[in-house]
Structure 1
Amino acid sequence: MTEPKCPECQVTGIEHIVSKDSEEATETKDPWFNVAYCDKCGYIYGVFAKVVHRATSSVW
């Protein structure tokens, strides 16, 4: 399998892709999202939701 490579600094290896919980949190202290980034240069791969709110009533 090919190792991932950072498009910004060219470092290779999945061990360089790290994530951090958001400082924003729910009332129960659960983070709203995670940010995945390169630990060498800080390039952001993406932001991933951890808390998803669902509708309380159905419109159907």
Structure 2
Amino acid sequence: MAEPKCPECKTVGLEHIVSKESDEKSQGGDPWFDVVHCDECGHVYGVFAKITHQPRLKLQM
């Protein structure tokens, strides 16, 4: 399997892709999202929601 390579600094290896929890937290203290980035240069690969809310459906009778 090929190792991932950062598109910015060209660092190679899965161990250099890390995540950090957001500083913003829910009322219960849970982080809202994770930021996935290169630990060498800080290139952001993505932001992933940790807290999602399901829509509440009202049933009409």
TM-score above 0.5, yes or no: yes
* Superposition TM-score, scaled by structure 2 size: 0.91
Number of equivalenced pairs: 60
More divergent stretch after superposition (49-58 vs 18-27): 49-58
Percent identity reads 55
**Which one-letter code corresponds to 2:40 in the other structure?**
K
Within-5 A mapping of 1:1-20: 1-20=1-20
Within-5 A mapping of 1:1-60: 1-58=1-58
* RMSD of equivalent CA atoms: 1.5
* Superposition TM-score, scaled by structure 1 size: 0.93
- Unmatched tracts of structure 1, length 5 or more: none
CA change 1:59–1:2 in 2 (3 A) is farther
Aligned-partner Cα distance in 2 for 1:38–1:59 = 46
